[in-house]
Amino acid sequence: MSRRNNLVHQALQLIVNTGDHGVLQSELWRKLKACSREGSRIALKLENKGFIRRERELFSGRWTYRLYPKRRPTSVNSIIDCPCLMCPETSRCGAWSAVRPSICERLTEWILNIAQMEMPPSGDG
Ligand code: SF4
């Protein structure tokens, strides 16, 4: 792997690990021992590929960017309460069976609850 590709890979890994907090561009380049010009090119490349988003931020009186991952690794916690994990019908359930996820009320309810929790609050009332 070339030095640049290696840096891109390391940068993405570091950004993903920051999660919702994100990381200041300058902080990231310090960790990677890259110059700011090289770092900016990498950030643009990652943004253009849809891996990260950049948000302008005023830090110590200067405008810079904070970098956030767009995709996060899936955690086991995200499915810990999925009804399928404790379902007595698991052995009979399948895409082409009489008992199937596409018509399962428990699974549908679980998915709808997640969707509802992730919806932004409405501006009404
Ligand atoms: S989809 Fe429904 S029936 Fe199938 S395993 Fe999950 S909870 Fe059980």
Q: Does residue 27 lie within any of the structural domains?
A: yes
Please say whether the beta carbons of 7 and 38 come within 8 A.
yes
Q: Does residue 108 lie within any of the structural domains?
A: yes
Give the pocket of ligand 1 (CB within 6 Å): 83-84, 87, 89-90, 93, 99, 101, 104, 106-107
What is the 114 CA–ligand 1 centroid distance (Å)? Answer: 16
Q: Does residue 54 lie within any of the structural domains?
A: yes
Domain total of the chain: 2
Q: How many residues does the chain have?
A: 125
Q: Does residue 125 lie within any of the structural domains?
A: no
Residues 81 and 63 in one domain: no
**pLDDT per residue as tens digits for the range 73-97:** 777 788 889 999 999 999 999 999 9
- Which one, of 91, 101, 76, 8, lies nearest residue 16 by Cα? 8
Q: Is the pTM of this model over 0.75?
A: no
What is the 118 CA–ligand 1 centroid distance (Å)? Answer: 22
Residues 33 and 87 in one domain: no
Mean pLDDT of 31-60: 91
Domain that holds residue 93: 76-118
Residues 65 and 23 in one domain: yes
